[in-house]
Chain A
């Protein structure tokens, strides 16, 4: 079946099914479908409370929980405390900032920062702007709304020329397809895709027709200008020299009439692409949100939706799509349902032997932490709580370390951060960079200062592990901490317990465990 044949029926499917689930909630349905597909493969148990807390904080606050948040959650005996935690975090002040950080990386792929763009994203998530509206505002940015105009940065950054190269319109076109429809049409720029039969050259060229008419409009904030499209675009495959023409169109859609000289083709795309009846648009949205929470797309890679790369769980993808449309693209609603599922809560630990195939979601999938999540967590875990709770001071500290953190923890520009990737530079930075060593300095109310005052090694280990790794140490680890304190003072000439504590804290921050959302 091709995209086109599915296409015809999809509007009808959505209409027929766009009723609320009757019997079970969405998260229960998710778990049922995951279990059904797993069959005989055993499903991992739920992770423990501490791991769940850490996961939820990373996902919805973009950081590790603070010691007192951890202690409070672990002490809470309420059976519904996980649900309450999710609801608190989703309603909390940190959620919009976390979403801003997340979608900045998703949409800009480390091409650079812009305050207007940040403002647009922050305002969007503060208002829980529906996904279709968010997409529309990015595709067709408006200049006359201070909270929305920053969306144009998506375009202007990509339209900037580098060196003597021509403006990368194909790159912008490709990214619109990738990020908003989950189709990477790069190969279809020059010819029908050779082994993805769904991807035709006209699908790329139809979108290119639109965005090749845009340009950067200078000014104090990002904005684009659009030349009216008066004629159709002529193109030919590099393989067969047969001329074709196309006017503006969205991939796999029908051609729009070339708008009259005053009309905007970008506006036509912005209206037609983020629409409930655009199956690929809807699937891309739920697939990307699923990926954020579960560590792998139901369609994977995220931007290769086509007939030969089927979803791991077709029914689930259809269900999520239907419900997301029924809920009017409510991002927070979908994230909440995902977070309440047993699938999200599953432990990432491998019971024994070979782990099950990753696409079964039978055990949890370890996820990458972004440079933003890592840096904020390092500051909060090691710092003076009073200082790191003061947002102004925290932001100042984050800003100072951000360039180094990006070099060490982020991808180079134009690379999606869709997998765990660690680098030699990351290791060198944590091992040797002075500014990062400073995090462990013993100063007023810093983690190391507080730990050094604890007499009992057992108690020290407890606070150390809870603060940095958000879990209690095992018996073995408690003993190891005690041993390290003794050994260090014996072997490191002229050094004291406080120094040992600094290195213990460093080792935990530099560990694999800290660097992963597990």
Chain B
């Protein structure tokens, strides 16, 4: 039997909207993932340190107040700096027209408003283990 996928979930900086991230945490947990929930007010360095220590397969970042174009690339850079090779998935309020910019910046996948639970699970799974 395969080890469960381990994902670190966090919010960076000031943004306190944690409803979505908590729902995603439970969804993934119920789908058999191992969720390391860091919650609010994290720094990119703290998230990377936990991802490394916990040998995580992915990092899920939730962003709800318009800071995604700044915060997500910073997270990607922090992961690259430690050479973790762990994909960064961004969820939250991301308008369609910003998705390409995030992908170009190295974000592995974007889960926007209205994404179904099944899609969240499928996207995380396929991001960690393509095809």
* A complexed with B: no
Residues of A at under 8 Å CB distance from B?
none
Residues of B at under 8 Å CB distance from A?
none
